[in-house]
Chains A and B, each alone.
Chain A
Amino acid sequence: MYRHFNYDSFRQGQKEIISDVLHGKDVLGVLPTGSGKSICYQLPAKLVDGVTIVVSPLISLMIDQVKELKAAGFKDVIALNSFLPFIEQQRVLNNLDSYRLIYVSPEWLQKRKHQNYLKQLPVKLFVVDEAHCISQWGHEFRPDYQRLHEVIEALNHPPVLALSATATPDVQADIIQSLNKPAMKRHIYPMDRNNIAFCVKEVDNDQEKLERIAELTKSYFVPALIYFTSRQTAEETALSLSAKLPKRNVAYYHGGMEASERLRIQQQFMNNQIDIICCTSAFGMGINKPDIRLVIHYHLPLQIESYIQEVGRAGRDGESSVGVILYHKGDFRLSANMVKNELPSIEVIDQLIATILTCQSTQVDLPSPEQLHILLDINEGAARFIQRQLQKYGLIRDSEWFIDEKKWKYVREGIVQYLEERQLYKNDKLNELYRWVQTGKCLRQTLYQPFQDEFGEPTEQCCSNCGFDWNKWVPEPLFKMPEASSPLNWRIKLQKTLNMEEA
């Protein structure tokens, strides 16, 4: 472990999982966020004589991980996904046997041609990361995950390792069933993080949220994340915070920014050049900053699992940290609206089909199914939903439309029903989250209850319902170097930049 990753000990669960994996067993591992899940396959990938394939749902996360591994000296690793430029992909596919660890997106994996490339390799471990995506009852259901068992079969059943940080017992059962591995060994660890205290604060309006955040960040000089569901609010808040806090370095981060600019912000945060980041859920995946002390939610996510993931970025070093939730009465409606827009309405689908039928009858060129969002004004998630449903019923095949009026009439009812089911499910998840926020009982217990029966003692304070007192929270402040900031000093800055301060 030390030799490969510079860690001198295993964390809870790692050793058990790795040892089973090395013995060729199929394993389901559920470990809390921030506990070093990825080591569970990265170390075996180094040790086994053969190739490890990792299915990962988020392309940006996958790319970050590859960058980090390369930076840590693990060079024979690659990420394969549909964003790889064609020539680059060809170069990689022709040299596929020179890699030890291969990350793939589930979409990429569905292509027969791609599977054939993988079949040539001595695959010794097949990893399903974020395995809760398999389950319809997981909060990030990805239909492509449900076909992974076919890929595993095509690869002649290498040992399978499924990993998740947020899997209730129902979801765990779903994962095992869908992968078709009933004998899977389960390693389930409690998710509660005993060094994070929870603090819910109801306010009257957004202005008050901002004031509260300014107060907190003024009195605590520690690395902090502030979560938003809107990119615009994240940007605006970052700007007004940096005006209010001249001594702090505040930045924003969201999925709408260019990749290289995002990387700059991430790395500056790692280096403590920035200490407060206003971000959307796009931030944090794969970020391994150990000393984040405050995770504030200006907006709540849409389900408990996401909240657990986001707040779990605090205190990975085990030191005392706090998760703060600021909310007001109007927030629920905002969230409910977002839930609604995540799925298309049946009217929108009807309209799409009508457009397609008209185009076909008048022989107008149609955009490909991947681009159906051009035909309609809907968000990406909703477009993906429609695509999957039409695929499921064979109305889209191999990126071509196969639609006529009769077929549509035949499948419409099924889609309506499924839509209603999903909508209900998502509403339930949202209600569950808001019930939690408003509970009078212990926040820690209520939060983790769906996942486990027993709880560890908090290392310091518990939560605002158990008498959390800010005066008793005294984290160690960041050490900061004063910076020469006048443009006139650029020569001095340049000397520093080029390591010439000694000269």
Chain B
Amino acid sequence: MNISRRYFLKSGGVAMIGMAALPSFLQRAVAATAGLNKKKMVVLFQRGAMDGLNVVVPFGEPNYYHMRPTIAIPQPKQGGLDAALDLDGFFGLHPSLEPLMPLFRGNQLAIVQAVGSPDPSRSHFDAQDFMESGTPGLKSTEDGWLNRAMQTIPEEKSSPFRAVAFGPYLPRTLQGISPAIAIPDLKQFKMYGPQQTVEGGFEAMYAQTVDHAMRGVGNETFEAVDQLKKINPDTYQPENGAQYPKGRFGQSLEEIAELFKADVGLEVAFLDSGGWDHHVNEGGVQGQLSNLLKDLGQGIAAFHQDMGDRMGDVVFVSMSEFGRTAHENGNRGTDHGHANCMFVLGGGIKGGRVYTRWPGLSEEQLNQGRDLAVTTDYRSVLGEIISKHLGDRDLKTVFPGFANDPRQFLGLVKA
């Protein structure tokens, strides 16, 4: 059985009337055909510009301590959790990310430092938009890079869960002609009222509406709701003793693991986290940034643990619109800067290394005399994951206008 509901929906109005009573074997068929044994990707966007220099700390760089008299993370100490955690003798992880250390030592976690978008904008809004569209500097791009990556496989075969954003909106990253949905809360993702009447009614209305923008949205929603009924999200239990942190970030990661395991055809998952814009009282080992990092570290570690062996098919990657000034500002915080760091995690990743072309932190090495310079284009990191992990996709379509030369890849995905 190789026919999806979407196919039926598209085949015309006559079929529509009886749609509410569509036999469940057809619904099951969708799940059976989609997404099994496929490579998967999880994308995290950290909104607000994370201070990468206090996350992946260049403790071997004396300038770092001169520039950040009150917020710097001290050099690693044997067994000390009030100092950077040594990664490679030059870089250290913020101590609040301690849960990530086993993943780094186990060679599943790679870190890229001094990476980012080449566009000089210091506007959160523009820089996020550029990073998500995948075309820095070009405002007219209508779709997101991850949506374009999904466009290479024909729509008819796909599951409604193929591309999912966990949150209230579909982010720019996933917008485009390839179907993608946003799920604010998996447990609440159902229809109120008498099921067949309500779903049938709305489904038919939205399938046939002349309102083009509304039409596609409706179809995907009802398909997803139907399939989700079988999963019964209320009963999910994480495996291997994984404990997700409380809050939206942990919940989203848990839901991603749940959908991956349910084999509903989820291929790319997107989530975001906010609150990284620390102009005032950013803190060092303790404080505002540290609190966010605890959530980040515990969440990623729990996801990794919960997924277990399945991590072999998954790559997790994080990004933030730009970094922050190398100097701390007058309020024990940092202002908008340039380069940042990215985390790349998965069974197929050559981890245990900090990948960087380190630009240095002396005044003349800084971007515009104030920020860490970008020496690796974030599109090259994503391009490598897309081509080597997700399969041989057309990178010129995913990142138009960027020569994504495989020879320039950092080599963080196993061949």
Q: Do A and B bind each other?
A: no
Residues of A at the B interface (CB closer than 8 Å) are none
